[in-house]
Structure 1
Amino acid sequence: MPHALVLGVSRGSIELKQFFRERSSVVFTFAFPAVLLFLLGSVFDQSAGLGSVGGGQVLTASFAAAGIVSTSFVNLGTAIAVERDDGTLKRLRSLPMPPVSFFLGKIVLVVVASIAELVLLLAIGVLMFDVTLPSGLGSWITMAWLFVLGVTSCSLLGIAASSLARSARSAGAMTTLPYTVLLFISGVYVPLGNVPDWMASIGAVFPVKWLAQGFRAALLPDHMAAQEPVGQWELGRTALILALWCLGGLLLCLTTFRWRSSLTR
């Protein structure tokens, strides 16, 4: 295991170099949630009707979750599908490297990218929408375990989703489409009170809704809990559901992950 860990860290360094060399991919990865936050926050900041809390502040908290899902589920799922299609996974599997080291390398990439995305979104919120960062240790601890559970669950689901794509061409659609739909029905783009009940019920099954609600609990005043569907932050339930998705995502990865493309003969 120590050998596999060292190889995993080394693999993570390679993953980071490859990622940041693709400038167009880097720009899109970080700019997409940031631009959406800037545009939607500017539109709804003055018309939220939430008293001392502006719409931009609410959106910043929700987009903190969206950014994590983007860098983990969307990017990881797409990248692995592309690597499977072009034969990279097949070649890596033939090397004397434990499979766990490959996934550790991906984890290093996702964690670094997710932290950078979160910092960028919070900076936009502070500079543009007067978001106040937490002053108490409890809120920072909440953000920490939300980050860990969110990155873990969404990364595992991204790895599992990569196996659904039959080729690199379809990889983006297999991750971007469900990501975009979930942002709408999970209270990220619009308040859950404006979402039809049946859509909100579907959104409540998946991690995005709970991750966004958790970040709102950490970044918004306590009285804003009244705006949630049940009038509470439900942090205990959030932790439980995200942990269950971590377990479910692991089981999906173990049963669906493929090193070779299904089109390979």
Structure 2
Amino acid sequence: MSAIASPTTAPAEPSTVALGLSRAVFEIRGYFRRGDQMFFTFLFPIVMLAIFSTAFSGLDLGPDLTAASYYLPAMLAAGILTSGLQNLGIDIATERHDGTLKRLAGTPLSPASYFIGKIGQVLATGVTQAALLIAIGHVVFGVDLPDDAGRWLVFAWVLLLGLATSALIGIAIAQLPRSAKSAGAVITPVVLVLQFISGVYLQFSMLPEWLQNLASVFPLKWMAQGMRYVFLPDSLAAMEQGGNWNLTGVALSLAGWLVVGFVVARLTFRWIRKD
């Protein structure tokens, strides 16, 4: 009597999340292997913190407030934006130009898994960068850290929500450059302008009211404001637009841009440009 062959069961395909997490590990490894990207998106805020803390060490900012204490929140916010918007915007434009996205289109990787991989890379590198910034600010420049658990909780949600928002905006804005060579020229000026009008390099209260209102449309201003709440004394809240920290506005702005970034990224993302 001949044996009856049992039907072979095809292996289950990995889920969207599993593929995304696997892609995130690949993206993180690739990120730390690129020296230029490491400097301009990972180490750049740390370098700027060192420069501002040294250059303005004699600046009178009030009792118990040094230049390093004042600029640490700003550099944390700048790092969030560059980790997501600038990093992914240039990176994805380059991958489209060099054929990486075209090759990925022929794999089981879906756009959703690709997004998870990119966002995972931004979260991992952004959190690491923030930890280094805080450690250097505290150990090297003597910045006093908050002793209130509530402020650290605000720090956590501003950081994570800001990174996710910046990552999705970066995926969305990556559709603008026509080539890898033009990606830096298109995206970097946007990041620089936002940094100058959002209270990163210049004291926000010194800017004209119309420029403050313009900056309030974009998420970087709110990221910087949330970080200032965490690390600066409450007496400086009077220098903010509206005279208070307005954490509700921080949350609403970042959440709104998160939704906008996701919708635009999902509607416009293509493995291959139509043109």
TM over 0.5, shorter chain: yes
- What CA distance in whole angstroms lies between the structure 2 residues aligned with 1:13 and 1:146? 24
The match for 2:18 is: 6
Farther-moved stretch of structure 1 (139-148 vs 41-50): 41-50
Farther-moved stretch of structure 1 (96-105 vs 154-163): 96-105
- What CA distance in whole angstroms lies between the structure 2 residues aligned with 1:252 and 1:104? 16
Between Structure 1 and Structure 2, which shows a larger proportion of helix residues? 1
The match for 2:97 is: 85
The match for 2:122 is: 110
Deviations 1:26-58 (A, max 9, x none): 233222111111111222232143222122211
The match for 1:123 is: 135
SS of residue paired to 2:108: coil
The match for 1:148 is: 160
Whether the aligned pair in 2 keeps the contact of 1:167 and 1:261 (CA below 8 Å) is: no
Aligned residues: 263
Q: For the structure 1 residues 97 and 33, does the alpha-carbon distance in structure 2 shift closer, same or farther, using more than 3 Å as the test?
A: same
TM-score by length of 2: 0.90
The match for 1:179 is: 191
Whether the aligned pair in 1 keeps the contact of 2:83 and 2:126 (CA below 8 Å) is: yes
Whether the aligned pair in 1 keeps the contact of 2:84 and 2:122 (CA below 8 Å) is: yes
Q: For the structure 1 residues 140 and 12, does the alpha-carbon distance in structure 2 shift closer, same or farther, using more than 3 Å as the test?
A: same
Following TM superposition, by how much is the alpha carbon of 1:262 offset from its aligned partner in structure 2, in angstroms?
4.9
Deviations 1:204-249 (A, max 9, x none): 1100000000001011121221222322110011111111111111
Following TM superposition, by how much is the alpha carbon of 1:96 offset from its aligned partner in structure 2, in angstroms?
1.8
Following TM superposition, by how much is the alpha carbon of 1:196 offset from its aligned partner in structure 2, in angstroms?
2.2
Sequence identity of aligned pairs in percent?
41
Q: Does 1:39 align with 2:39?
A: no
| Residue of structure 2 aligned with 1:26, choices 38, 56, 75 | 38
- What CA distance in whole angstroms lies between the structure 2 residues aligned with 1:28 and 1:185? 20
Following TM superposition, by how much is the alpha carbon of 1:112 offset from its aligned partner in structure 2, in angstroms?
1.0
- What CA distance in whole angstroms lies between the structure 2 residues aligned with 1:54 and 1:117? 22
The match for 1:228 is: 240
SS of residue paired to 1:21: coil
Whether the aligned pair in 2 keeps the contact of 1:166 and 1:261 (CA below 8 Å) is: no
Q: For the structure 1 residues 7 and 232, does the alpha-carbon distance in structure 2 shift closer, same or farther, using more than 3 Å as the test?
A: same
Instruction: Give the gaps of 5 or more residues in structure 2.
Output: 1-12
Following TM superposition, by how much is the alpha carbon of 1:2 offset from its aligned partner in structure 2, in angstroms?
6.7
Instruction: Give the gaps of 5 or more residues in structure 1.
Output: none
The match for 1:245 is: 257
What do you get for the CA RMSD once the two structures are aligned?
1.6
TM-score by length of 1: 0.94
